[in-house]
């Protein structure tokens, strides 16, 4: 596999390491490029080029028909320099070690950029959550948590929801961990139900944060958000909330899609009605009222001002970046733009609001949740929304300044700012022993 030279040099001279998949190469290429700009010591680059720890498991789980299946599962911890590691758990057929390693590295940059006292982690189970019953998902989650127990903890590694996992998944994780400890440990996970120590506004935080960043970017670009035509790919936690926030800000949302395909209406979609439909039917499939059905590929190429990618990685690539018709690309998902896609968009002068900045609202409110759990003292919605807006604006302004001062892309600026935060800590601590 093609592997970025700058990173390859600081690692293994001959063979590829186990996590070196195309998505990991994307994260490593971004890092290698940012390291050229960040001016940090060589030992920092060496340490940050790879995860600190990776756990590979197979989970034996009894299915509802009485048979047993074995599910591959992973947890990767990229950096513990700034504090415990933090990152989501996803249930998806594409989960593998390389994907978790790439996402864990992005989490390190995201936490550092937002100045949260965490490093990055990511994990998941390779399964198709839509084909599993709730009791089966519960057994998978509980077995996964029990197997991970030596490697996670409130001061060690704190999971959160990601694709196809949610508040219920986190409740099962919290309960399983607590049963093993013998007392309730709400601070072991974030994104859990409010009744067991979850935070108000955590559910909305990522999508709301995406729109806070869009609003700030519109301010810098001299645009009025309420006059923009927007397309949102993904209608789950991030995309669904982002679409609602855009709609409530008065922007015209002309297209949305989920895994079943997309809907388009030039006059603007009725977002509350789409949510009601999805709540009843499980997806957008079959929604026909006043809309034109489009495929996911067509949705990305719709004429619009702002395109929000909030589904999954690798959506804008070398083969379709030239066909996009947006003026601003917004990464609500992690890693939705490939390195080649990024290059084409840069050549076309389309700015990209990068994932490690734009979708950081989730981990920021997760941090607030953890702090509240540790202190056993809870804040109200207005306070959390205000603190989130402060954090997102501060990070956005730092990224925008670095981008302007250095004449580099917003992605490079975000990575440079984040790497410097981690580097400062690593230089102060040194490499043990």
**Does residue 164 interact with ligand NAD by CB under 6 A?**
yes
Q: Which of residues 198-227 bind ligand NAD (CB under 6 A)?
A: 206
Told to judge if 122 belongs to the known catalytic residues of this protein, a careful annotator would answer yes
Closer residue to ligand NAD (CB): 241 or 345: 241
The residue from 35, 105, 238, 352 that contacts ligand NAD (CB under 6 A) is: 238
Are the C-beta atoms of residues 296 and 333 closer than 8 Å to each other? Answer: no
Closer residue to ligand NAD (CB): 45 or 353: 353
* Beta-strand relationship, 53-62 and 157-161: unpaired
The 3-class secondary structure across 135-172, one letter per residue, is HHHHHHHHHHHHHHCCCCECCCEEEEECCCCCHHHHHH
**Does residue 124 interact with ligand NAD by CB under 6 A?**
no
Are the C-beta atoms of residues 158 and 189 closer than 8 Å to each other? Answer: yes
The residue from 236, 341, 351, 354 that contacts ligand NAD (CB under 6 A) is: 236
**Does residue 244 interact with ligand NAD by CB under 6 A?**
no
Name the closest residue to ligand NAD (Cβ): 236
Applying CB under 6 A, the site for ligand NAD has a residue count of: 24
The site string for ligand NAD over 278-307 (x = CB under 6 A, - otherwise) reads ------------------x-----------
DSSP assignment letter at 66? S
**Does residue 312 interact with ligand NAD by CB under 6 A?**
yes
User: Which of 241, 289, 295, 297 is closest to 265 using CA atoms?
Assistant: 289
* Beta-strand relationship, 252-258 and 229-233: parallel
**Does residue 258 interact with ligand NAD by CB under 6 A?**
yes
Tracing tokens 């949705």 back to the chain, one arrives at: 299
3-state SS assignment for residue 379: coil
Closer residue to ligand NAD (CB): 23 or 402: 23
**Does residue 362 interact with ligand NAD by CB under 6 A?**
yes
The residue from 123, 234, 255, 354 that contacts ligand NAD (CB under 6 A) is: 234
**Does residue 254 interact with ligand NAD by CB under 6 A?**
no
Which pair of tokens denotes residue 340? 């080649």
Which pair of tokens denotes residue 353? 């609001």
DSSP secondary structure string, 248-268? HTT-EEEEEEETTEEEE-TT-
The residue from 82, 170, 310, 426 that contacts ligand NAD (CB under 6 A) is: 310
Are the C-beta atoms of residues 207 and 241 closer than 8 Å to each other? Answer: yes
Closer residue to ligand NAD (CB): 332 or 351: 332
Q: How many residues belong to the chain? A: 433
Closer residue to ligand NAD (CB): 138 or 359: 359
For binding to ligand NAD (CB under 6 A), which residues are involved?
161-164, 206, 233-239, 257-259, 296, 310-312, 332-334, 359, 362
């Amino acid at each position: 596999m093609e592997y970025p030279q700058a990173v390859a040099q600081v690692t293994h001279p001959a063979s590829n390491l186990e996590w070196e998949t195309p998505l990991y190469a994307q994260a490593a290429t971004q890092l290698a490029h940012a390291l050229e700009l960040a001016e940090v010591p060589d030992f920092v680059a060496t340490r940050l080029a790879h995860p600190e720890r990776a756990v590979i498991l197979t989970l034996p789980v009894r299915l509802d028909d009485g048979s047993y299946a074995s599910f591959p599962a992973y947890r990767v911890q990229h950096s513990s320099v700034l504090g415990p590691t933090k990152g989501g758990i996803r249930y998806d057929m594409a989960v593998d070690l390389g994907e978790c390693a790439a996402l864990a590295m992005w989490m390190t940059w995201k936490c550092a950029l937002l100045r949260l006292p965490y490093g990055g982690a990511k994990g998941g189970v390779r399964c198709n959550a839509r084909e599993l019953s709730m009791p089966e998902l519960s057994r998978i989650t509980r077995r996964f948590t029990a197997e991970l127990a030596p490697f996670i903890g409130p001061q060690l590694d704190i999971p959160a929801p990601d694709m196809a996992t949610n508040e219920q998944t986190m409740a099962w994780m919290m309960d399983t961990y607590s049963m093993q400890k013998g007392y309730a440990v709400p601070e072991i996970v974030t994104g859990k139900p409010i009744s067991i120590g979850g935070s108000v506004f955590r559910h909305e935080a990522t999508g709301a944060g995406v729109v806070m960043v869009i609003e700030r970017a519109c301010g810098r670009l001299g645009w009025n958000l309420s006059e923009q035509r927007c397309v949102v790919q993904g209608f789950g936690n991030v995309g669904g909330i982002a679409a609602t926030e855009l709609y409530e800000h008065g922007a015209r949302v002309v297209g949305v899609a989920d895994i079943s395909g997309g809907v388009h209406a030039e006059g603007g979609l009725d977002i509350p009605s789409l949510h009601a439909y999805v709540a009843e039917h499980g997806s957008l499939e079959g929604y026909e009222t006043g809309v034109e059905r489009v495929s996911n590929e067509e949705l990305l190429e719709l004429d619009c001002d702002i395109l929000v990618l909030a589904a999954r990685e690798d959506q804008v690539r070398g083969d379709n970046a030239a066909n996009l018709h947006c003026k601003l690309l917004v990464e609500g998902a992690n890693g939705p733009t490939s390195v080649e896609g990024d290059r084409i968009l840069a050549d076309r002068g389309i700015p990209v609001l990068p994932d490690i900045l734009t979708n950081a609202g989730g981990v920021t409110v997760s941090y607030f949740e953890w702090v509240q759990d540790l202190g056993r003292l809870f804040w109200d919605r207005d306070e959390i929304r205000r603190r989130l807006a402060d954090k997102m604006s501060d990070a956005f302004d730092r990224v925008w300044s670095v981008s302007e001062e250095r004449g580099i892309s917003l992605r490079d600026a975000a990575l440079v700012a984040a790497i410097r935060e981690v580097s400062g800590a690593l230089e102060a601590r040194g490499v043990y022993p």
